[in-house]
A and B are shown apart, each in its own frame.
Chain A
Amino acid sequence: MSDHGFAFLDGDAKKEIRRALLKAVALPGYIVPFASREMPVARGWGTGGLQITLSIILEQDVLKVIDQGCDGSVNAINIRNFITSVTKVMTTSKTSRASIIQTRHRIPEHELRENQVLVFQVPYPEVLTTVEPDTAQQKQMHADGDYSKLWVLLYEDTSQYGDSRISNRYPVQVNNHFVMDPSPIPKYDIPRMDNCPALQLFGAGREKRMYAIPPYTTVKPLKFDDREFKIEVFPGVCCERCGARDVFFDEVRLGSDRRYFCSDTEFCDKNMEKNDAA
Chain B
Amino acid sequence: MLLDVRNVSKIYGTSCDQCLSLTGVEHDRAICPECGSVVAVNSISLSARKNEILGIVGESGSGKSTLLQLIYQDIRASSGEIFFQGVTDKNGQPSNILHEPPSAVSRLRSKEMSMIYQNPRLGLNFLFSAGGNIAERIIGAGERRYDEIRSNALDYIRRIEMETSRIDDYPEEFSGGQQQRIQIAKALSSSPQLLLLDEPTTGLDVSVQAKILDLIKELQQDMGFSMIIVSHDLGVINHLTDITVVMKHGTLVEYGLTDQILEDPQHPYTQLLVSSIL
- Chain A residues in contact with chain B, CB under 8 A? 131, 140, 143-146, 148-149, 151-152, 155-156, 158-160, 224-227
Contact = CB atoms under 8 A, between A and B. Distances in A.
Given A140-B102, A148-B110, A160-B168, A155 B144 contact: no
B129 interface: yes
Contact of B168 (A143, A159, A224, A226): A159
Contacts of A146: 106, 110, 140
Contacts of A149: 125, 136
B103 A156 contact: no
A145 B139 CA distance: 12
Given A146-B140, A155-B139, A225-B145, 4 more contacts: A140-B102, A148-B139, A155-B135, A155-B146
B58 interface: no
Nearest to B150: A159
B127 interface: yes
B250 interface: no
B154 to A, nearest CB: 10
Contacts of B140: 146, 148
A224 B148 CA distance: 10
12 contacts: A152-B125, A152-B128, A152-B132, A152-B139, A155-B131, A155-B149, A159-B131, A160-B168, A224-B146, A225-B144, A226-B146, A227-B146
Given A224-B144, A226-B147, A148 B168 contact: no
Contacts of B149: 155, 224
Interface of B: 102-103, 106, 110, 125, 127-129, 131-133, 135-137, 139-140, 144-150, 167-168
How would you classify the secondary structure of chain B's contact residues: helix, strand, loop or mixed?
helix
A103 B99 CA distance: 46
Contact of A224 (B106, B137, B145): B145
Contacts of A159: 129, 131, 150, 167-168
B103 A144 contact: yes
Contacts of A155: 131-132, 135, 139, 146, 149-150
Question: Would you list the 6 A-B pairs with minimal beta carbon distance, nearest first?
Answer: A224-B146, A148-B140, A148-B139, A151-B139, A144-B106, A155-B135
Contact of A131 (B127, B129, B148): B127
Contacts of A152: 125, 128, 132-133, 135-136, 139
B119 to A, nearest CB: 18
Max chain B C-beta neighbours (<10 A), residue from A131, A140, A152: A152
B102 A143 contact: yes
B267 to A, nearest CB: 41
Nearest to A150: B139
A131 B132 CA distance: 12
Contacts of A227: 146
Contacts of A158: 146, 150
A224 B150 CA distance: 12
Contact of B136 (A140, A148, A224, A226): A148
Given A224-B145, A224-B146, A226-B145, A156 B132 contact: yes
B168 A144 contact: no
A139 to B, nearest CB: 11
A140 B106 CA distance: 10
A156 B171 CA distance: 14
